[in-house]
A and B are shown apart, each in its own frame.
Chain A
Amino acid sequence: MSRLYDFHGGIHPPENKQQSSATPIRQLPLPPLLHIALGQSVGNAALPCVQPGQRVLKGQCIAEADGRLSSAVHAPTSGNIIAIGEHAFAHPSGLPAATITLQPDGLEQWQPRQNLPHWRDASGSELRDFLQQMGIVGLGGAVFPTHLKLAARELQTLVVNGAECEPYISCDDRLMQERAADIVAGIGIAAHALRAGEVLIGIEDNKPQAIAAMQAACHGTPFRVVAIPTKYPSGSAKQLIRVLTGKEIPHGVRATELGVQCLNVGTLYAIARAVLHGEPLLSRIVTLTGAVADAANVEALIGTPLDWLLAQAGHTTAAEVIMGGPMMGFTVPDLAAGLSKAGNCLIVKSPAEFPPRPAAMPCIRCGECATACPMELQPMDLFWFAKARNFGKAQEWHLFDCIECGACSYVCPSQIPLVDYYRFAKSEIWAAERDKKAADLARRRHDFRQFRIEREKSEKAERLAARAAEQAAKLAASQAATTTVSSAQDDPKKAIIAAAMARAAEQQESKPLPDSHTQALDDAKQAAIKAAMERAAARKAAAQQSSDDSSNAAANPAGSTGIDNAKQAAIQAAMERAAARKAAAQQSSDDSGNNAAANPVSATGIDDTKQAAIQAAMERAAARKAAAQQSNDASGNNAAANPVSATGIDDAKQAAIKAAMERAAARKAAAQQDQQDPT
């Protein structure tokens, strides 16, 4: 026999296992419905690959793994998918979860089973992919995807967890007694995949029959069954590894880094069924105990409604039900939930067995909790820090080393639900970290936006400089053409009319647009506002996109409007003039001289359209300013798409718009100037 190590603390609560451990595992009839939650493992919920109304066969994959930290989900029996949607879920939060509801057809019609007969020669990744597709997860209660635990190489010790230290639970006990051969086959597969040097099977010495059955099954193998002293929580992976190997796995360190891996007997059984028989994880052994007529272990399909399941054990009352053990389990919020792969035990609470806990008294620092803590923490200090919301200190006192086994709560003479305080502190710390991450992201986005605005200003300045030159050339050319045409005209009247029209056009171009210009806006106003809003939205989306990807290239703001080019140009011009006027008016009516310098976009109460228009006006003004500074710059930073040229507006129109824009901006600048003078 190898040497056994002890761990600090631990408790000996009443075992209450005999109620359910005496009788063999019962098979159940098919339940009327199965509610199979998509999140059956730690990590991402699986992605459904069936449709409502579709008929599925037993063992058919109904939801595929989503990424590495995820596991596939299968139809536990043949039948019809009748719904995919939210349904009650066995979780302390009481929140519903995405669930596939399957109506069994009673035929139990299998899809062709595909095993992995050549597992000895299979590569590690092939075996891992296979197990992920078979939906194998840790059945001790943590439901960690098993394929990720088989990624280690050259393992020193594979620890097999048959400790089952929580009171009441006996599913692993019965499984080891009745199906030891398959468990040992599973151990063989895992040990081969992990190249394990030795295999130690730890079973608490309160399960002599399971120890005997496992010893018999291990005969002729190098695997060693080790009876360990019964002490809660010896079935915690860290404590079991400590007991069997003497190694302590610190918080945040994977056991494999110290050459150890720990797998539950139920998981190993599931591995064997999958690899050797091609059976995905469709069912599990569940202990039904507490205030039920026939406490027993049953083999239940994943998704079996918990109320139906309890009725099979003769439970009819409306008492509270614990899922898991009485130490670490939680009260099921809704028994309509389907059995999940984590559901190792259901305990119906009776007042006799589970008397209400007396009201908590103040902590008297008696230190019973520190004596009981298997992680050698100082629970009374952690309690004090958590209660005072002194989370930094709690972390310093190794809050996150707490495995939430509940030994401290169990022994507390003041009846303080200590573990709940630690869970609270942990979740608060996680929430604070999430907030901090979000704030960091927002800050990075803001920084990038500032950068982008600066860059766009400089780009605009370059464009404006180019357009100004172009416009001058064009104007000169058109004047020359007009002269030519009028001189060519015989009819003096027509020449006069043409000249008047040209003057009127010139006048309109040169003088500020009158307020009566709203006539031009009448038809276009709605469209213009809409267009502006859409552009603003597009810009916002582009900003977000670009900061998310860290790719630059501002998206084409006008490209998505869908309005034909000419119309769009007119609308844009009119809209921008109006907006600029509004902005100018607003700024000049502003009382505070300081506010004039402030960014008007930040002003509250401005509707989106106005905001977009004001922003546009500001950017133009800024661009002009920048143009003066940067016209000589040989800026090479113009790789970004040109938002204006991308609109496809022909140059003449653009020149006209530009002129109008510049006038508006000039007005605005003048207004600003007026306002700043008094200060």
Chain B
Amino acid sequence: MTLHATHIAKPATVSAVMLKVLAAMLPGIALSVHFNGIGVLVQLLLASVTALLAEAAMLRLRGVPVTPFLKDLSAIVTAWLLALAMPPLGAWWLIVVATLFAIVVAKQLYGGLGNNPFNPAMVGFAVAIISFPAQMAAWGSPLAPLDAAAQLQWIFSHTLPAGSALDAVSSATPLDLLKTGLLQGGRDVSQLLAGDRFGQLGNAGGEWIALGWLAGGLWLWQQKLIPWQTPLATLAGVVAMSGALWLAAPAHYASPLFHLFNGATLLAAMFIVTDPVSGSTTPRGRLIFGGLVGVLTVLIRVFGGFPDAVAFAVLIMNIAVPFIDQYTQPTVFGHKGGRRA
């Protein structure tokens, strides 16, 4: 086929897109390091190295040129999103296993970049939380973080220096606290949320990190790299579902604010549901996709067995994307008003 058009093109590349996505994560990462310690960076590094090695090996096995696909940085984006969703003090092998699964199975076995129906980072996360729920609780405590040396020691050797309490590693997250508190009974939501761990917006420390994700997302939107529909719909879905529950029974259900600033809600809304490959591409489809991710996140959090539910909500909605896209095709120029089909 003779290449015919166009003779000029915007100097845009997939690498540039991915690089901007990585840059947009930096404020949130900085805040996360500030509140959670060096463990966050260790997780990012482990995930990045694993992702690049796994990607290179798989590209080689598939007989695809390795260098251009490594340079597209999509593996790093997956690795970072996964590392940021994982507990900062998780064992080194946990993030390695999760990353391997994300890159090898969820991405490369489906055909690599652009062909994966599921968000690879969320697949890796789901595998980890289902297979190793205990290790996935290693969130540490932003109120009394371990020092850097202790964090490294814990991640790599699963031991703690003398004098450190195990509680400093696997202290319950606000989502856990609320869930177990309600299960134990006796106290209502407002009493539970009075604790220090819940901070001003329902998650001490975590609320700032969440605002960091929000800032990155707004910048991506301003750069026209993500549409407004998906993030806004996701947040609206979370607010609508949690709001409805909260209004119906405030003693049993946390407020929308709590759900917005806990778990991976804002990280997901800005960086995960906006993954173009596994998400919806039509304007109306993005609203439906995002909205239902938000609703499902709250429902699974509140009524499901796992503390956070973003990964499950995203994966469930990934399945629905072809269906959503099929029925939300925008009206083509000249075909409005049903004059012609």
- Determine if A238 is an interface residue (Cβ-Cβ < 8 Å): yes
Contact B12 A380 (CB under 8 A): no
- Determine if A108 is an interface residue (Cβ-Cβ < 8 Å): no
Q: How many of chain B's residues touch chain A, expressed as a range? A: 35 or more
Interface string of B1-31 (1 = CB under 8 A from A): 1111111111011101100000000000000
The CA of A406 and the CA of B114, in the complex, are separated in Å by: 22
Q: How many of chain A's residues touch chain B, expressed as a range? A: 35 or more
Chain A residues within 8 Å of B68, by CB: 359, 361
Contact B5 A404 (CB under 8 A): yes
Interface window among A115-123, A408-416, A620-628: A408-416
| Most chain A beta-carbon contacts within 10 A, residue among B3, B8, B10, B330 | B8
The CA of A30 and the CA of B281, in the complex, are separated in Å by: 56
Contact A365 B114 (CB under 8 A): yes
- Determine if A397 is an interface residue (Cβ-Cβ < 8 Å): yes
A8-B7 CB under 8 A given contacts A92-B2, A359-B68, A413-B16: no
Least CB separation from B278: chain A residue: A365
Contact A364 B114 (CB under 8 A): yes
Q: In the complex, how many angstroms separate the beta carbon of B264 from the nearest chain A beta carbon?
A: 22
Within 8 A of B (CB), among A1-22: 7-8, 11, 13-14
Contact B332 A398 (CB under 8 A): yes
Main secondary structure of the interface of B (DSSP, over half): loop
- Determine if A417 is an interface residue (Cβ-Cβ < 8 Å): yes
- Determine if B227 is an interface residue (Cβ-Cβ < 8 Å): yes
Least CB separation from A247: chain B residue: B334
The CA of A253 and the CA of B331, in the complex, are separated in Å by: 17
| Most chain B beta-carbon contacts within 10 A, residue among A238, A248, A326, A411 | A248
The CA of A450 and the CA of B9, in the complex, are separated in Å by: 58
The CA of A327 and the CA of B10, in the complex, are separated in Å by: 12
Contact B5 A411 (CB under 8 A): no
Contact A401 B6 (CB under 8 A): no
Interface window among A367-375, A485-493, A506-514, A587-595: A367-375
Chain A residues within 8 Å of B4, by CB: 92, 330-331, 417, 419-420, 423
Chain B residues within 8 Å of A375, by CB: 332-334
A326-B10 CB under 8 A given contacts A248-B334, A365-B277, A398-B335: no
The CA of A14 and the CA of B9, in the complex, are separated in Å by: 10
Q: Which of the residues A7, A92, A327, A424 comes within 8 Å of B8, measured between beta carbons? A: A327
Contact B7 A349 (CB under 8 A): yes
Q: Which of the residues A248, A361, A378, A420 comes within 8 Å of B14, measured between beta carbons? A: A361
Contact B5 A366 (CB under 8 A): no
- Determine if A251 is an interface residue (Cβ-Cβ < 8 Å): yes
Contact B329 A238 (CB under 8 A): no
A364-B14 CB under 8 A given contacts A378-B282, A380-B281: yes
Within 8 A of A (CB), among B226-264: 227
Least CB separation from A377: chain B residue: B332
Contact A8 B329 (CB under 8 A): no
Contact A413 B5 (CB under 8 A): no
- Determine if A376 is an interface residue (Cβ-Cβ < 8 Å): yes
Contact B333 A238 (CB under 8 A): yes
Within 8 A of B (CB), among A351-410: 354, 357-359, 361-368, 370-371, 374-378, 380-381, 397-398, 401, 404, 406, 409-410
The CA of A347 and the CA of B69, in the complex, are separated in Å by: 34
Q: In the complex, how many angstroms separate the beta carbon of A458 from the nearest chain B beta carbon?
A: 49
Chain A residues within 8 Å of B1, by CB: 420, 424
- Determine if A249 is an interface residue (Cβ-Cβ < 8 Å): yes
The CA of A74 and the CA of B113, in the complex, are separated in Å by: 56
Q: In the complex, how many angstroms separate the beta carbon of B69 from the nearest chain A beta carbon?
A: 8
The CA of A193 and the CA of B114, in the complex, are separated in Å by: 54
Chain B residues within 8 Å of A253, by CB: 334, 340
The CA of A366 and the CA of B220, in the complex, are separated in Å by: 13
The CA of A410 and the CA of B282, in the complex, are separated in Å by: 20
Chain B residues within 8 Å of A259, by CB: none
Contact A410 B334 (CB under 8 A): no
Contact A378 B5 (CB under 8 A): no
- Determine if B188 is an interface residue (Cβ-Cβ < 8 Å): no
Chain B residues within 8 Å of A419, by CB: 4-6
- Determine if A665 is an interface residue (Cβ-Cβ < 8 Å): no
Interface string of A94-124 (1 = CB under 8 A from B): 0000000000000000000000000000000
Chain B residues within 8 Å of A417, by CB: 3-6
Least CB separation from A251: chain B residue: B334
- Determine if A278 is an interface residue (Cβ-Cβ < 8 Å): no
- Determine if B176 is an interface residue (Cβ-Cβ < 8 Å): no
Chain A residues within 8 Å of B333, by CB: 7-8, 238, 242, 248, 250, 374-377, 401
Chain A residues within 8 Å of B332, by CB: 375-377, 398, 401
Interface string of B210-231 (1 = CB under 8 A from A): 0000000000000011010000
Within 8 A of B (CB), among A239-253: 242, 248-253
Contact B12 A250 (CB under 8 A): no
Chain A residues within 8 Å of B14, by CB: 361, 364, 413-414
Chain A residues within 8 Å of B6, by CB: 326-328, 406, 409-410, 417, 419
The CA of A412 and the CA of B5, in the complex, are separated in Å by: 13
A250-B7 CB under 8 A given contacts A238-B333, A364-B276, A413-B13: no
- Determine if A643 is an interface residue (Cβ-Cβ < 8 Å): no
- Determine if B115 is an interface residue (Cβ-Cβ < 8 Å): yes
- Determine if A329 is an interface residue (Cβ-Cβ < 8 Å): yes
Chain A residues within 8 Å of B13, by CB: 358, 361, 413, 415
Q: In the complex, how many angstroms separate the beta carbon of A564 from the nearest chain B beta carbon?
A: 60
Least CB separation from B330: chain A residue: A376
Chain B residues within 8 Å of A11, by CB: 10
Chain A residues within 8 Å of B69, by CB: 361
Contact B5 A250 (CB under 8 A): no
Chain A residues within 8 Å of B330, by CB: 370, 376, 378
Chain A residues within 8 Å of B325, by CB: 381
The CA of A382 and the CA of B61, in the complex, are separated in Å by: 30
Chain B residues within 8 Å of A92, by CB: 2, 4
Chain B residues within 8 Å of A406, by CB: 5-6
Contact B281 A250 (CB under 8 A): no
Q: Which of the residues A367, A374, A411 comes within 8 Å of B10, measured between beta carbons? A: A411
Chain A residues within 8 Å of B72, by CB: 361
28 A-B pairs with C-beta separation under 8 A: A13-B8, A242-B333, A248-B336, A253-B340, A322-B7, A330-B4, A354-B7, A358-B13, A362-B114, A364-B17, A364-B277, A365-B277, A366-B17, A366-B276, A368-B12, A374-B333, A381-B325, A398-B332, A401-B333, A401-B334, A404-B5, A410-B9, A410-B10, A411-B10, A417-B4, A417-B5, A420-B3, A424-B1
- Of all A-B residue pairs in the complex, the 10 with the closest CB atoms, nearest first, are A250-B334, A362-B114, A406-B6, A326-B7, A413-B12, A248-B334, A375-B333, A366-B276, A326-B8, A365-B276
- Other A-B pairs, 7, CB within 8 Å; known A380-B281, A411-B12: A8-B333, A167-B8, A248-B336, A327-B7, A368-B12, A411-B9, A412-B12
Chain B residues at the A interface, C-beta cutoff of 8 Å: 1-10, 12-14, 16-17, 68-69, 72, 74, 112-115, 224-225, 227, 276-277, 279, 281-282, 325, 329-336, 339-340
Chain A residues at the B interface, C-beta cutoff of 8 Å: 7-8, 11, 13-14, 92, 167, 238, 242, 248-253, 322, 326-331, 347, 349, 354, 357-359, 361-368, 370-371, 374-378, 380-381, 397-398, 401, 404, 406, 409-415, 417, 419-420, 423-424
